[in-house]
């Protein structure tokens, strides 16, 4: 029996001398990456980890990070990437919920994650650094040979936390079948081959940067220009060596702001892909006018990876996310009845396929509520399908905000703001923002006139990751409500929709 995901993604090119990862410091071949992976897998086994045990990682982007992901899969364990921006209060929930057997942190082993892990008895290691005992140091003495632990398609491969309807994140359980099938589908849809060199500037703690990009290029035997993060200068510098790029709308708007981003610079590029947040039509049009190329926008989520995409060959329609990918069933239904809506009408997007996750970690009730009896997953995203089968995302049920490609649930922020003494109540919304897709705005009702933006920000800074903190704070005498007393966030979004356009 094989290890379905590892053998499908990494084994085909494991012994190749071809370059897999390109960094500003040098190049790593597939063969070298395999040896690095095997050494780390040997460490996991020697630490006593068994198939199904969780490995939680909060560390900066690095080649060693990718090798640890591959090693975790190869050893039959479950990978849990954590956003480096999470605060100790956020991490406390994740660690206690998932109970990882091993927690891996960045250079500083005594960060907040390590302290939390120690409290529940998890093994703690630093990924790299100068200290003895780090994974990087220990790996030097390990064997570069490791036989993959057998795993079936239904075995758990990863847990990724995503926003939930109560404001508390839920761990989406992704199995080997989910990740492998999606890599195969998008490799065909987007025509990736061993000749591709992907410009990678995404973070690796969510599905876009890790599973979509890394699994895809590894499976087809391509190369990855692996940069720490996005900035315009690096993108412009490395683009001549690339054939393709994955990004979020923010990447493209910032490139368009640079006069050095020209058609000549992009002439050789085969494909620009955007996702994780909605892209404004004007960005599509400006990009085409500047470069002569059309950005391929697609739709996916933590629970499903990629499921809808504009075509590689064919018309890419700005403002839409395209059509369902091969083997994935998509339907749009009425939220209350579950019945199909008429073509062109807005409803909840539901989907079914090998890409759809197993359910939420230790949350049977939430899992049951998220699936129909016939196996369709209720995404909570609102969309409509036109007469040609193209789907447009028109909003998100339950007010989820996506800013800079990251999911943000308003209730979590509201709960923290409402802790402040002079705050009577608050409403957090997402409004259109050219750079981030959506930006977080907080509307606050207070019982006095002494509250300031600084007071709010000082309270939030230690309790919420920076990407969740409001980019603008507004004050109101009251909040709009319906006859049942529910705050009308749709009205707030409409009223403040151009707040960032006016700056």
Residue 483 pLDDT > 50, yes or no? no
Contacts of the segment 164-168: beta carbons below 8 A, 24+ positions apart = 164/360, 164/366, 164/409, 165/366, 165/380, 165/398, 166/411, 167/409, 167/410, 167/411, 167/412, 167/414, 167/415, 168/93, 168/412
Rounded CA separation 13/20 (Å): 9
User: What pLDDT, in 10s, does the model give residues 27-68?
Assistant: 999 999 999 999 999 999 999 999 999 999 999 999 999 999
Token output for 89: 């209060």
Return the SS3 of 161. Answer: strand
State whether the Cα torsion 446-395-351-273 is positive or negative.
negative
Q: What is the pLDDT of residues 432-444, one digit of tens each?
A: 998 898 999 999 9
Q: pTM, whole model, 2 decimals? A: 0.86
Q: Is the pLDDT of residue 250 over 90?
A: no
Same fold for the domain at 214-399 and the one at 409-495?
Answer: no
Superfamily of domain 4-151 in the CATH hierarchy: ANL, N-terminal domain (3.40.50.12780)
Question: For 349-362, what is each residue's pLDDT tens digit?
Answer: 999 999 999 999 99
Instruction: Note the pLDDT tens digit of each residue in 276-331.
Output: 877 888 899 999 999 999 999 999 999 999 999 999 999 999 989 999 999 999 99
Range of lowest pLDDT (310-314, 364-368, 400-404): 400-404
- The answer to which of 21-35, 317-331, 403-417, 454-468 has the lowest mean pLDDT is 403-417
Percentage of the residues of the chain whose pLDDT score is greater than 70: 95
pLDDT for 194: 98
Sequence ranges of the domains in the chain: 4-151, 214-399, 409-495
* Mean pLDDT value of segment 341-370: 95
CB 60 within 8 A of CB 84: yes
Q: What is the pLDDT of residues 182-234, one digit of tens each?
A: 999 999 999 999 999 999 999 999 899 999 999 999 999 999 999 999 999 99
CATH topology of domain 214-399: Rossmann fold (3.40.50)
Residue % of the chain over a pLDDT of 90: 70
Q: Which option is the CATH number for 409-495: 2.40.50.140, 3.30.420.40, 3.30.300.30, 3.90.226.10?
A: 3.30.300.30
């Amino acid at each position: 029996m094989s290890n379905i995901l590892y053998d499908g993604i990494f084994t085909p090119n494991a012994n190749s001398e071809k370059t897999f990862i390109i960094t500003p410091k040098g190049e790593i071949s597939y063969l070298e990456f395999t040896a690095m992976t095997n050494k780390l897998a040997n460490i996991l086994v020697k630490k006593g980890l068994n198939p199904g045990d969780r490995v939680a990682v909060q560390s900066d982007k690095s080649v060693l990070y990718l090798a640890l992901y591959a090693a975790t899969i190869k050893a039959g364990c479950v990978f849990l990437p954590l956003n480096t921006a999470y605060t100790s209060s956020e991490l406390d929930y994740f660690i206690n919920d998932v109970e990882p057997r091993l927690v891996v942190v960045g250079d500083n082993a005594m960060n907040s994650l390590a302290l939390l892990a120690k409290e529940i008895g998890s093994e703690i290691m630093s990924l790299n650094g100068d200290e003895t005992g780090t994974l990087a140091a220990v790996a030097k003495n390990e064997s570069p040979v490791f036989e993959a632990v057998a795993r079936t398609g239904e075995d758990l491969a990863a847990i990724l936390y995503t926003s939930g309807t109560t404001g508390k994140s839920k761990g989406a359980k992704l199995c080997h079948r989910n990740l492998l099938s999606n890599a195969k589908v998008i490799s065909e849809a987007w025509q990736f081959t061993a000749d591709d060199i992907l410009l990678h500037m995404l973070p690796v703690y969510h599905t876009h940067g890790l599973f979509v990009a890394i699994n895809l290029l590894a499976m087809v035997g391509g190369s990855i220009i692996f940069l720490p993060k996005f900035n315009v200068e690096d993108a412009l510098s490395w683009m001549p060596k690339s054939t393709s790029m994955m990004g979020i709308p923010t990447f493209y708007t910032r490139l368009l702001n640079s006069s050095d981003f020209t058609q000549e610079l992009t002439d050789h590029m085969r494909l620009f892909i955007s996702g994780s947040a909605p892209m404004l039509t004007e960005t599509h049009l400006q990009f085409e006018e500047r470069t002569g190329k059309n950005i391929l926008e697609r739709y996916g989520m933590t629970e499903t990876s990629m499921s809808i995409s504009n075509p590689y060959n064919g018309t890419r329609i700005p403002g839409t996310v395209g059509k369902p990918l091969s083997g994935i069933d998509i339907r749009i239904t009425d939220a209350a009845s579950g019945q199909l809506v008429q073509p062109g009408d807005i409803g909840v997007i539901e989907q079914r396929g090998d890409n759809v996750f197993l359910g939420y970690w230790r949350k049977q009730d939430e899992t049951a509520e998220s699936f129909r009896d016939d196996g369709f997953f209720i995404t909570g995203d609102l969309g409509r399908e036109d007469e040609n089968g193209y789907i447009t995302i028109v909003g998100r049920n339950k007010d989820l905000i996506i800013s800079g490609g990251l999911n943000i649930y308003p209730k979590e922020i509201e709960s923290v703001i409402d802790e402040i003494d002079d705050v009577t109540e608050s409403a957090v919304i997402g409004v259109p923002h050219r750079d981030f897709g959506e930006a977080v705005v907080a509307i606050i009702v207070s019982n006095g006139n002494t509250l300031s933006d600084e007071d709010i920000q000082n309270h939030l800074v230690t309790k919420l990751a920076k990407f969740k903190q409001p980019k603008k704070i507004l004050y109101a005498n009251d909040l709009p409500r319906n006859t049942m007393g529910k705050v009308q966030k749709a009205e707030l979004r409409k009223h403040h929709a151009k707040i960032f356009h006016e700056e």
